[in-house]
Amino acid sequence: MAQTIAHRGPDGEGVQSFEGAGLAHRRLAIIDLSPAGAQPMQSSDGSAWIAFNGEIYNFPELRKELEGLGHQFRSHTDTEVILAGWLQWGEGVVGRLDGMFALALWDLKQRRLFLARDRTGKKPLYVYEDQEKVVFASEIKAILAHPAIDRAHTPDAIPQFLSHGYVPTPGTFYSRIRKLKPAHFEIISLGEEGTKATQYWEFPLGASREVTDLREVEGRIRELFFAAVKRRMLSDVPLGAFLSGGIDSTLVVAAMARFSSKPVKTFSIGFEGYPDWDETKYARQVADRYGTEHTEFKVKPESFELIDKLAWHYDEPFGDSSAIPTYLVSKLTRAKVTVALTGDGGDELFAGYPRFAAAVAAERVPSLVRRIARRALAPLPAGRRHGSTWERARRFALHASQPLPERLRNWVSLFPASELQTLLIPELAAFATPAHLGSSYTELDRATGRLDPMNRVLYLNSKTYLLDDLNVKMDRASMAASLEGRAPFLDTALMDYVSTLPGSLKARGTNLKWILKRAFGDLLPHEVIHRKKMGFGVPLGAWFREGVKAQLEDRLLNPGSPLRAFFRKGALEGLFAQHQENRRDLGLQFWGLWLLDSWLTREKEGRSGPC
């Protein structure tokens, strides 16, 4: 099991067996590179063992506190601090940890297993249960390496994936494997049935704080952000930063330059021959301003040769095509550093996506106007280019009249429910109803009653898209390259504070990240502040009509493709024709279908190793 995830920890392997339980660990050495940091690690009194993945950024403060309470340490690791915290505070240790983590702790005295995951789900933790055993791991492939695993598939996984681009937490494509929810811990006792799950943290859900002094707010944001970056620069190995040239990564690099005595190492990626998708010129401007040691790489259509390898790393079909450039920039970065800071979470915390402003704007449009716009635009053809002004306007009108949770889901879906019902065979189409596909959003929305519209949107997005798309993409892509990615914007203190600010400070109409840009105007180049948001996209539409058209056709239209068992006759051919005839841009959808085909093929053939 441990060997299957050797990429997550190439610096060491440890296995420890107990009566009725066992732990295994792969180490990526970041803090205290000595053998004293090896895992699984035993507590000072011998009563507990831990296998831990991630970083605890406040471990120096916790260690100092624990030393004052009489605890002694043999290493300089954050792992040992967690163990001492367990001895001191028991389950309460998790709420004191500020960082990204998935951990498994075996309590020898109580004969119980303690599993925990960080607040936003930066680090993954999967759990398999049947009547005889509980098996857990950082990646599904490690669970599947166990010799007695039921690999049965979840009945509605394919419609869920084709809607969301993933199966929402806690579900997976495997009916007996689930994701441990973020900000939760579970206790599983040997010989007892069932588990005890507890949520130890939540985004603030009360009414927003009253703001009377903008300068005070800006100052507090700066203080918390700089502290978050500084904490994430603690490392015994070289570190750098991903630099896209957008606001979030620029601020991370600016802060790193403030705290570093040497030039910051920065890394960016672009697309050869597709300037509309290439941000490298902005990244170079930022690199020049802050005197970084900058490296960039250009992605070509030939990068699609990686797709089956990525499918193996992600374990399940994954609908975000930026997995390709994220993996490639991680490989590029790993050649020079072991840790990279990223701008992940900035858009989610400060309202950086146009769809957030659109969702709030739709709340203000009279329902009659929304219904009229929908009837007028629904019969018209879809836009020929994803992200075009026409396509955005059409999507806005089609979904603006829906309840906010359903509206948000449809704006980021691969296929709307109505189309899935016509594409999939009847057995799967029965799961493709708006109510079924949107149940995760609807359930989450019940907690947002006191939030203003923008904060309601941000809460839903953080519990869905951030958790199951962005965090998964970064974790698998970076760890596939044995690189650790750290996200200052997902710092606990920063999230706790910004989440309580009124939504009107985060976006003013279409002016996104309003308060963030005000707080850091002195650090952001004019071109970065005022440029149109690009996002980390891939020119899939063009690639599927040009560079990899033949491979797509061979993959999806091949009579032997396992996809065909789940789609109505002629459905895949119809989608292919629409795209090639430039009636619709289905690049994102074909990426998802390609990944689904790769996963189904692997499952059918029973393969377990990388391609």
Q: What is the pLDDT of residues 319-342, one digit of tens each?
A: 998 898 899 999 999 999 999 999
Last residue of a domain, one of 374, 399, 424: 399
Q: Is 231 helix (H, G, I), strand (E, B) or coil?
A: helix
Give 108-158 pLDDT, tens digit per residue: 999 999 999 999 999 999 999 999 999 999 999 999 999 999 999 999 999
Distance of CA 137 to the CA centre of its chain: 17
Decide if 184 is inside a domain: yes
Residue 250, phi-psi category: left (phi > 0), alpha (psi -120 to 50), beta (remainder): alpha
Residue 223 vs residue 273, higher pLDDT: 223
Taking Cα atoms as reference points, which of 548, 545, 573 lies closest to residue 559? 573
Give 72-122 pLDDT, tens digit per residue: 999 999 999 999 999 999 999 999 999 999 999 999 999 999 999 999 999
Mean pLDDT of 283-304: 87
CA distance 481 to 414: 28
Decide if 123 is inside a domain: yes
Residue 370's pLDDT is 64
**Confidence band (pLDDT; 50, 70, 90) for 533?**
low
Residue 379's pLDDT is 58
Residue 380 vs residue 255, higher pLDDT: 255
**Residue 234 per-residue DSSP state:** -
- Mean pLDDT (the chain, rounded): 91
Residue 430: what residue type?
A
Decide if 461 is inside a domain: no
Residue 611's pLDDT is 42
**Confidence band (pLDDT; 50, 70, 90) for 604?**
confident
Decide if 12 is inside a domain: yes
Last residue of a domain, one of 199, 231, 254: 199
Residue 388's pLDDT is 59
- Cα dihedral 79, 123, 479, 347 sign: negative
Using the predicted structure, report yes or no on whether residue 293 has a pLDDT greater than 70.
yes
The region of weakest confidence among 61-65, 303-307, 421-425, 587-591 is 303-307
Mean pLDDT of 549-570: 92
Using the predicted structure, report yes or no on whether residue 610 has a pLDDT greater than 70.
no
Residue 415's pLDDT is 94
Mean pLDDT of 212-217: 96
Using the predicted structure, report yes or no on whether residue 531 has a pLDDT greater than 80.
no
Quickly count helices (H) and strands (E) in the chain: 29, 18
Residue 471 vs residue 271, higher pLDDT: 471
**Confidence band (pLDDT; 50, 70, 90) for 540?**
confident
**Residue 583 per-residue DSSP state:** S
pTM: 0.94
Last residue of a domain, one of 199, 228, 253: 199
Using the predicted structure, report yes or no on whether residue 394 has a pLDDT greater than 80.
no
Decide if 279 is inside a domain: no
Residue 33's pLDDT is 95
Give 476-528 pLDDT, tens digit per residue: 999 999 999 999 999 999 999 999 999 999 999 889 999 999 999 999 998 88
Residue 272, CA distances (Å) to 185, 301, 496, 535, 550 in order: 45, 9, 40, 17, 20
Decide if 210 is inside a domain: no
Using the predicted structure, report yes or no on whether residue 426 has a pLDDT greater than 60.
yes
∠330-332-334 over CA atoms, to 5°?
65
CA distance 611 to 534: 32
Decide if 423 is inside a domain: no
Residue 528's pLDDT is 87
Decide if 337 is inside a domain: no
- Asked if residue 40 has a cis previous peptide bond (ω within 30° of 0), the answer is yes
The region of weakest confidence among 26-30, 354-358, 574-578, 605-609 is 605-609
Mean pLDDT of 234-257: 96
Q: In what order do the strands lie in the sheet with 293-299?
A: 293-299, 265-271, 239-242, 339-341, 484-486
Q: Look at the chain and report how many structural domains it folds into.
A: 3
Using the predicted structure, report yes or no on whether residue 597 has a pLDDT greater than 90.
yes
Mean pLDDT of 210-214: 93
Residue 382's pLDDT is 56
| pLDDT winner (highest mean) among 326-330, 378-382, 604-608 | 326-330
Q: Which domain holds residue 371?
A: 366-399
**Residue 497: CA count within 13 A, CB half-sphere:** 19
Count Cβ atoms below 10 Å from residue 554 Cβ, excluding itself.
Answer: 11
